[in-house]
Amino acid sequence: MPLSAGDKLGPYEILAKIGAGGMGEVYRAHDPRLRRDVAIKVSAERFSERFEREAHAVAALNHPNICAIYDVGPNYIVMEFVEGEAPQGPLPLEEALRLARQIGDALEEAHGKGIVHRDLKPANIKIKPDGTVKVLDFGLAKVGPMSTSAGGENSPTISMAATQAGMILGTAGYMSPEQTHVYQHIQL
């Protein structure tokens, strides 16, 4: 169900469509209760296992370089609205290193909690006007056992089923060579 400016989704007022992907559409919306804009990812179907995995993965993370989750509905996730642009190359070395450090910090936090992003690409990264990097879209994340260095018993526990064997997930242009090789053979 496509939404238009002025439509309501729960308490949220839709402002504009800002993107679309394999799982559904993303809208900029306004939360009148907290007087802030948010991003709402609306699933093409009811709360699927994949959508639930994304909600749990992002909710388990609290890091300045990872987009925060605020709320969930029957078929949507409400997240921090991140003002900014995806990185565009080529970048000067110092700028590339500054961005890479922040992306690495975000991934270290996720990996420490047993979460692997699996779809890291420029479209899933935003650079805020102040230069802060935010990693977005954990829709293809794989949740596994937490790292032993992740904080042990004080860390949130996440229990999720693993991806089905043989299922290929990711964006072809950003897959590892091993994944691309398997994907090409399946397509033949």
Task: Indicate the range of 22-26, 60-64, 135-139, 152-156 predicted with least confidence.
Answer: 152-156
Structural domains for the chain: 8-187 (1.10.510.10)
The count of other CB atoms within 10 Å of the CB of residue 170 is 17
Three-state DSSP state, 54? helix
Task: Determine contact, residues 115/143, Cβ cutoff 8 Å.
Answer: yes
Higher pLDDT, 124 or 146: 124
Residue 90 backbone dihedrals phi, psi, to 5 degrees? -75, 150
Give Cα 8 to chain centroid, integer Å: 23
Q: What percent of the chain has pLDDT over 70?
A: 75
The C-alpha atoms of residue 63 and residue 111 are separated, in whole angstroms, by 12
Catalytic center residues:
119
pLDDT band for 153, please (50, 70, 90 cuts).
very low
> Full-prediction pTM beyond 0.85?
no
